[in-house]
C-alpha cells in the first residue's frame, strides 16, 4: 500500500477486529498485509531517550520543541514528551513578543507554569530565546525610540489633506467611474470636465471620487472647497462618504452640491460622526443629470486642534562663544581660530576667524562648511542669517552639499558680500530639486587671499505646523535606550527562571544569509515584518557581547550560554561566519559556551556539507547542540511514499551518527527534535509536512527507528 497513513488506518482496523473476536471461533487464517508487516518492527523499540548511551555521552540531552500552552495542560503532549525526552524548548512563548506587552510590562505567568510542569515531568528546559530579531514586540521597541512630538501652542488651524488643481495629469487622488474625464480651460489653467450623456438608473452609476490620506475620526471637523459649474441650470448632486473609492459607507458626507451655469466657489464644513468616520473618500454622484460637469481647485481640509500657524524655527546656529564645533568645519586650507573676546559682531563676544593664505586655482579649494541635522526637501523655505566681514572685499559663493565635501549644486544661498566692516547677511530660499537632500552650506573662500570673519550664524526653516516640535533621538540616545531595554528584558526573564533553567539560546540567528560574515540588518528593508526588530541596528556589532554579559550578570555562574543559527549545513560560509563572530564576541571579553545549529533539513540535503559543518563546529572546542532538528521529504504528508519515509529514516540516522562520531563527547550538549510530530496543515511551521519522528496521531514512523539507531549506534 502506497501511503503511510493508509497503513496506520489499516493497523487500527486489524487491532480492533482482533480485540473483538475470539480466535477459537475462527476456522481460517488471514495473513497480515505486507505493508503492516513491514512496519511492525517499530513497536519493538523502547522510548527514544533510552537509546542515549549515557556512559559514552554523560551530559547528552535529548530535547524536544514544544508548545508551552499544550505542555502546561499536562495531557497527551506532557506524557509523550516526558516519556521520550530529557529536555524541552518552548517554540514561541518564552520570546520577547510573547512576554512584553504594549506598555512594556512583562507577563511571565506562562513561563512560571512551564517551569512547574517541566519539574513535575522530570525534564530540563533549554531557554529559547533571549536576543533575536523576530518574534519581538517591535511596536513597543520602536515606540520607545520614536521621535517625541510636541504640538504647537497657538490653537487650531485648518490643514490641507488633499488639493487638486488639474494642472497636470497626476490623478493619484481622484478617479472617475461610469464616464470619461477630459480637461477644459478655467482662468489661467485648466479644469476637469465630466459629461453624462444619459440619465442612469442610479445616480451612483457615474461617480467622481476624491481621496485624502488620513481616515476621518468622530468629532473632527472637515471642510470641502472647490470651484464648480454645470452646463445646465437646476443641476444638483449628492456627496457620499466612502471608506475608499467604491467602498460605500453613508449616503451623505458634505450635503448636496448645486452648481450654476457660471463658475462659483462652494465651501462646506461638516463634523464627523459615526456614519462618516473611518472614511478617506468623497463620492460625487453624477448619474441623474444629463449635463456637463466642471470641477477645479478641489481642496479637503481638517481642523487640527494642536496646530498654531506657521513659524520660522531654528535648525542650526552658532555664535562661536564656546569651542563646540559640532555644526561647522573647514577643509585643510581653511585655517580656523577665534578672535579675542569683545571683537565679535557689534563688539560682543568672539567670532570665528578663517585665513585663506593664497589665491587658489579654484574658489572651492578653501571651504568652510556649516551643517544642520535634517536634509532639505523640495518646497521647504529656509533663511540664512549671519554677521560677516573680511580683511579685503570678497564675494563668496555658497554651494549646496549633501554632507561636507559631497557637492550637489553650485548655488544655495547666493553670494555673500564681505567688506572690512561687519555687515548682516540675510537670504531666504525655497528648496528645489537641485538643493534637496542637503545638510550642508559650503562657503567657497579660495578666490581671495584674506581673513574672513563669521559670527551669529543662524539657519531657520519655515515650519507650517506652527511651532510644533519633533525631537528625534540621537543614535547614541537610541543605543542607550535599546541597550537598557535589552538589559531589562534579560534581567526579568532570568529572575523568574534561573532557579530551574541552566542553559540559554542567548543570541539567535545573527548572521546574514547573503553576506554570511556580516550581521543581519533591517536597514534599507522597506518590508520588515511587524514583529521584527534588529537590536544590532541600534547597539552595533557588540549587541551580542552585551547580551552574553547580561546573561552572565543575571543568570547562574554555571549556566551554558549558546549562540544559534540556521543553514549552517547548507551555507558553509555562514557556519564560518558564525564561528568568526563567536571569536569576536570572546575577544571583547564575553563568554560563549556553545554553538547551536538548527538543521531544518530535507532528505536531499548534502551529506558532505553536514559532515563539514560538524567538523568546523567541533574544532571550536565549544559545546555543540543540534538545536532544532526536523526533516522534510519534499512533499506534503498525503503525498509521501514508502521510499520517502525510508530516505527520511536513513538521513535522520546519518545526522545523529555523525554528530556523535565527529563532536567529541565532552562537547556534546545534545540534540533537540524541533517537531517531534509531523506538522499539521494548520501549522505556521512547515505546514502539512511529514517532518517528525511520529505521525500527528503519535504513531512511530521509520524516522523514529532511524533516530534511535543513530543514538544507539546499532
Q: Give pLDDT, residue 309.
A: 62
Would you say 370 and 458 are in contact if contact means Cβ atoms under 8 Å apart? Answer: no
Domain ranges of the chain: 1-32, 45-139+487-712, 157-304, 311-470
| Percent of the chain at pLDDT exceeding 90 | 87
Beta bridge partners of 417: 395
Range in 115-119, 340-344, 465-469 the model is least confident about: 465-469
Quickly name the fold that domain 311-470 has.
Jelly Rolls (2.60.120)
Query: What is the pLDDT, as a whole number, of residue 37?
Result: 62
CA distance 702 to 35: 12
Residues with Cβ within 8 Å of residue 440, at least 6 apart in sequence: 369, 370, 371, 372, 400, 401, 402, 403, 404, 406
Q: Is 45-139+487-712 CATH 3.20.20.80?
A: yes
**Residue 15: pLDDT above 90?**
no
pLDDT-based confidence at residue 525 (cuts at 50, 70, 90): confident
Per CATH, 157-304 and 311-470 having the same topology is answered yes
Q: Is the pLDDT of residue 240 over 70?
A: yes
Q: Which of 93-102, 189-198, 310-319, 627-636 is predicted with the least confidence, judged by mean pLDDT? A: 310-319
Q: How many residues does the chain have?
A: 714
pLDDT (tens digit per residue) in 480-504: 999 999 999 999 999 999 999 999 9
What angle in degrees, to the nearest 10, is found between the helix axes of 607-618 and 642-662? Answer: 20
Average pLDDT over residues 155-171: 89
Do residues 623 and 503 touch, judged by C-beta distance below 8 A? no
For position 9, what pLDDT does the model report?
35
Helix (H, G, I), strand (E, B) or coil at 285: strand
State the average pLDDT for the chain. Answer: 92
Neighbours of 205 (CB within 10 A): 17
User: Do the bridges between strand 668-673 and strand 61-66 make them parallel or antiparallel, or are there none, so unpaired?
Assistant: parallel
Q: Has residue 682 got a pLDDT over 60?
A: yes
E strand spans, 122-234: 124-131, 148-150, 157-164, 174-177, 181-186, 189-196, 207-211, 221-230
Would you state the pLDDT for residue 14? 33
Which helix (H) or strand (E) segment holds residue 647: the answer is helix 642-662
Mean pLDDT of 258-284: 96
Do strands 87-90 and 124-131 pair parallel, antiparallel, or not at all (unpaired)? parallel
* CATH class (in words) of the domain with range 157-304: mainly beta
In angstroms, rounded to a whole number, what is the distance separating the alpha carbons of residues 537 and 357? 44
Do the Cβ atoms of 285 and 204 come closer than 8 Å?
A: yes
Q: What is the pLDDT of residues 279-303, one digit of tens each?
A: 999 999 999 999 999 999 999 999 9
Give the residue ranges of DSSP H helices in 555-606.
Answer: 572-587
| β-bridge pairing 264-271 and 189-196 | unpaired
pLDDT tens digits along 526-561: 889 999 999 999 999 999 999 999 999 999 999 999
325-374 tens-digit pLDDT: 999 999 999 999 999 999 999 999 999 999 999 999 999 999 999 999 99
The predicted model gives 105-129 an average pLDDT of 96
Return d(Cα 276, Cα 278) in angstroms, integer: 7
Residue with cell string 522530570: 122
Q: How far is CA 442 from CA 223, 329, 377, 403, in A?
A: 44, 10, 18, 9
**Distance set, CA 49 to CA 61, 62, 82 (Å):** 9, 7, 10
The long-range contacts involving 634-637, CB below 8 angstroms and separated by at least 24 positions, are 634/602, 634/603, 634/604, 635/689, 635/690, 636/681, 636/688, 636/689, 636/690, 637/5, 637/678, 637/688, 637/689, 637/690
Residue 594 host element (H or E): strand 594-597
Q: d(Cα 586, Cα 601) in Å, to the nearest integer?
A: 30
Share of the chain above pLDDT 70, in %: 93
pLDDT of residue 622: 98
Query: Whole-model pTM?
Result: 0.58
Which pLDDT score, from 0 to 100, does residue 264 have? 93
d(CA 471, CA 477): 12
User: Measuring CA to CA, which residue among 512, 497, 627 is closest to residue 574?
Assistant: 512
Span 636-677, pLDDT tens digits: 999 999 999 999 999 999 999 999 999 999 999 999 999 999
Pick the closest to residue 627 from 116, 67, 63, 120 (CA basis): 63
**Angstrom distance (rounded) from CA 595 to CA 509:** 11
Contact 706, 650 (CB under 8 A): yes
Residue 19, pLDDT > 50, answer: no
d(CA 20, CA 372): 88
- CA-based nearest residue to 440, from 331, 349, 324: 331
Give which of 210, 208, 211 is closest to 182, Cα–Cα.
208
pLDDT digits (tens, 9 = 90+) for 27-70: 434 444 555 666 788 999 999 999 999 999 999 999 999 999 99
Amino acid at each position: 500500500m502506497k501511503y503511510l497513513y493508509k497503513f496506520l488506518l489499516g493497523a487500527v482496523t486489524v487491532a480492533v477486529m482482533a480485540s473483538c473476536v475470539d480466535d477459537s471461533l475462527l476456522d481460517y487464517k488471514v495473513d497480515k498485509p505486507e505493508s503492516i508487516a513491514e512496519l511492525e518492527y517499530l513497536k519493538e523499540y523502547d522510548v527514544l531517550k533510552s537509546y542515549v548511551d549515557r556512559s559514552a555521552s554523560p551530559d547528552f540531552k535529548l530535547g524536544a520543541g514544544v508548545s508551552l500552552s499544550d505542555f502546561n495542560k499536562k495531557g497527551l503532549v506532557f506524557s509523550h514528551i516526558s516519556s521520550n525526552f530529557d529536555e524541552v524548548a518552548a517554540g514561541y512563548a518564552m520570546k520577547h513578543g510573547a512576554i512584553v506587552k504594549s506598555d512594556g510590562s512583562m507577563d511571565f505567568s506562562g513561563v512560571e507554569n512551564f517551569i512547574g510542569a517541566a519539574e513535575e515531568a522530570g525534564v530540563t528546559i533549554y531557554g529559547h530565546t533571549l536576543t533575536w530579531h523576530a518574534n519581538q514586540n517591535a511596536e513597543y521597541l520602536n515606540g520607545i525610540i520614536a521621535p517625541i512630538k510636541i504640538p504647537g501652542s497657538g490653537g487650531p488651524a485648518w490643514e490641507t489633506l488633499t488639493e487638486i488643481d488639474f494642472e497636470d495629469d497626476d490623478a493619484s487622488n481622484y478617479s472617475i467611474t461610469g464616464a470619461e474625464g477630459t480637461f477644459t480651460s478655467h482662468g489661467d489653467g485648466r479644469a476637469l470636465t465630466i459629461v453624462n450623456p444619459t440619465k442612469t438608473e442610479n445616480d451612483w452609476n457615474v461617480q467622481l471620487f476624491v481621496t485624502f490620506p488620513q481616515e476621518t475620526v468622530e468629532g473632527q471637523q472637515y471642510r470641502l472647497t472647490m470651484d464648480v459649474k454645470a452646463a445646465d441650470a437646476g443641476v444638483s448632486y449628492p456627496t457620499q462618504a466612502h471608506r475608499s473609492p467604491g467602498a460605500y459607507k453613508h449616503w451623505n458626507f458634505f450635503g448636496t452640491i448645486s452648481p450654476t451655469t457660471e463658475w462659483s466657489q462652494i465651501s462646506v464644513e461638516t463634523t464627523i460622526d459615526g456614519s462618516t468616520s473611518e472614511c478617506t473618500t468623497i463620492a460625487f454622484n453624477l448619474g441623474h443629470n444629463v449635463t456637463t460637469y466642471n470641477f477645479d481647485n478641489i481642496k479637503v481640509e481638517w481642523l487640527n486642534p494642536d496646530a498654531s500657524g506657521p513659524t520660522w524655527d531654528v535648525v542650526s546656529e552658532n555664535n562661536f562663544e564656546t569651542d563646540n564645533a559640532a555644526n561647522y568645519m573647514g577643509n585643510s586650507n581653511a585655517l580656523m581660530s577665534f578672535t579675542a573676546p569683545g571683537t565679535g559682531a557689534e563688539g560682543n563676544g568672539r567670532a570665528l576667524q578663517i585665513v585663506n593664505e593664497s589665491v587658489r586655482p579654484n574658489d572651492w579649494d578653501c571651504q568652510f562648511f556649516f551643517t544642520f541635522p535634517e536634509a532639505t526637501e523640495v518646497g521647504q523655505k529656509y533663511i540664512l542669517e549671519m554677521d560677516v566681514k573680511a580683511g579685503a572685499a570678497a564675494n563668496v559663493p555658497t554651494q549646496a552639499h549633501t554632507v561636507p565635501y559631497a557637492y550637489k549644486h553650485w548655488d544655495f544661498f547666493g553670494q555673500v558680500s564681505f567688506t572690512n566692516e561687519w555687515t548682516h547677511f540675510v537670504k531666504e530660499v525655497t528648496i528645489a530639486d537641485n538643493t534637496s537632500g542637503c545638510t550642508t552650506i559650503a562657503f567657497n573662500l579660495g578666490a581671495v587671499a584674506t581673513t574672513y570673519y563669521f559670527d551669529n550664524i543662524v539657519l531657520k526653516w519655515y515650519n507650517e505646523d506652527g511651532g510644533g516640535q519633533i525631537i528625534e533621538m540621537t543614535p547614541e540616545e537610541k543605543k542607550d535606550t535599546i541597550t537598557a531595554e535589552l538589559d531589562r528584558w534579560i534581567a526579568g526573564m532570568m529572575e523568574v527562571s534561573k532557579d530551574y533553567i541552566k542553559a540559554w539560546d542567548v543570541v539567535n540567528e545573527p548572521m546574514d544569509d547573503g553576506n554570511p560574515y556580516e550581521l543581519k540588518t533591517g536597514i534599507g528593508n522597506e518590508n520588515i515584518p511587524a514583529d521584527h526588530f534588529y537590536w544590532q541596528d541600534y547597539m552595533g556589532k557588540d549587541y551580542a557581547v552585551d547580551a552574553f554579559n547580561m546573561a552572565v550578570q543575571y543568570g547562574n555562574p554555571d549556566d551554558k550560554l549558546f549562540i544559534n543559527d540556521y543553514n549552517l549545513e547548507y551555507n558553509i560560509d555562514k557556519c564560518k561566519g558564525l564561528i568568526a563572530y563567536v571569536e569576536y564576541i570572546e575577544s571583547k571579553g564575553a563568554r560563549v559556551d556553545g554553538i547551536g545549529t538548527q538543521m531544518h533539513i530535507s532528505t536531499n540535503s548534502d551529506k558532505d556539507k553536514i559532515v563539514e559543518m560538524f567538523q568546523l563546529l567541533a574544532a571550536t572546542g565549544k559545546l555543540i547542540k543540534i538545536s532544532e532538528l526536523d526533516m522534510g521529504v519534499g512533499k506534503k504528508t498525503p503525498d509521501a511514499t514508502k521510499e520517502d519515509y525510508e530516505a527520511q529514516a536513513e538521513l535522520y540516522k546519518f545526522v545523529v551518527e555523525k554528530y556523535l562520531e565527529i563532536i567529541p563527547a565532552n562537547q556534546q550538549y545534545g540534540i533537540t527534535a524541533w517537531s517531534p510530530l509531523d506538522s499539521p496543515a494548520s501549522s505556521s511551521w512547515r505546514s502539512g509536512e511529514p517532518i517528525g519522528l511520529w505521525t500527528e496521531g503519535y504513531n512511530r514512523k521509520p524516522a523514529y527507528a532511524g533516530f534511535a539507531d543513530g543514538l544507539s549506534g546499532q
